[in-house]
Amino acid sequence: MRRQNPPQASLEQAQYIERYLSRPAITVAYALCATMFFGFVSLLFAVLVHDYIVNPTPTTIAFFVVVAIVPAILAFLACRRRPDDPLSWSIMRLANSRRIPLNVAADRRSFKVLLMNGETICVNFSFHYPARSQSAELGERLDTYVRAALERECSKHSMLPSEMAIEDAIDGVLELIAHQFDIPVLYPEIRDVHKVRDAYSVTGDLAPSEYLGTGTLG
């Protein structure tokens, strides 16, 4: 069941991103950037000289050399400051963003099913999953699959089943729905479970967990 929030996949992505926080990885990244910049400045200088835009005087050459090696110096200083350097900070921020729990919304649904002895019970759920995943098709799938799982489970009991038994009964179908709709987080919260008696029931016969209502299944 996809109860974990943030999802395990997001946590694994964060761990994978953090692999680039190692000293060798950071050093290689800075060295690559400095080398690319040096190559760009060298190419630019060659083009300018070739087109007679600048004269290759010692002063001009010295200026372009200084400009070309500045990133290398900055990269060296950044590596010395690791993990407080800009690249490490950016990588850590990206990794931490994958550890932020997803925003989920509560989708409230009620189910009335029969016990083994023919009595009706009502189970009120709040299904928690990202709001962006809500759709009419998903709602219909939840109604159909969860009701079928509840009917199978409750047909085995003559008394109110425990909340744990109810959750165990619907775990499989929720996992299937989450897979079908590519929902990273989907878990139920049982708000209430009670028996439903018809209007002709004797009031004194009702247990504290039972409520006066209709016996109509819906």
Give tens-digit pLDDT for 149-206.
999 999 998 888 999 999 999 999 999 999 999 999 999 999 999 888 754 344 544 5
* In 83-135, alpha helices (H): 86-97
Q: Please give the tally of structural domains in the chain.
A: 2
Considering the domain architecture, whether residues 120 and 207 belong to the same structural domain is answered as yes
Considering the domain architecture, whether residues 26 and 118 belong to the same structural domain is answered as no
- As given in the structure block, the two tokens for residue 95 are 């990794």
Residue among 117, 108, 119 nearest 194 (CA): 119
Higher confidence at residue 211 or residue 50?
50
CA distance 57 to 122: 90
Reported as a single tens digit per residue, the pLDDT across 196-218 is 875 434 454 455 545 444 434 44
Considering the domain architecture, whether residues 41 and 112 belong to the same structural domain is answered as no
Considering the domain architecture, whether residues 115 and 208 belong to the same structural domain is answered as yes
CA distance 91 to 96: 9
Considering the domain architecture, whether residues 149 and 65 belong to the same structural domain is answered as no
Chosen domain end from 40, 73, 97: 97
Residue among 136, 142, 106, 129 nearest 2 (CA): 129
Q: What is the model's pLDDT at position 128?
A: 94
| pTM exceeds cut of 0.85 | no
* In 105-195, alpha helices (H): 136-154, 163-180
129 three-class SS = strand
Percent of the chain with pLDDT over 90: 43
- As given in the structure block, the two tokens for residue 17 are 């991103």
Domain that holds residue 156: 105-212
Considering the domain architecture, whether residues 78 and 109 belong to the same structural domain is answered as no
What is the overall mean pLDDT for the chain?
85
| Residue 1 maps to a domain | no
Considering the domain architecture, whether residues 71 and 158 belong to the same structural domain is answered as no
Considering the domain architecture, whether residues 90 and 15 belong to the same structural domain is answered as yes
Considering the domain architecture, whether residues 156 and 176 belong to the same structural domain is answered as yes
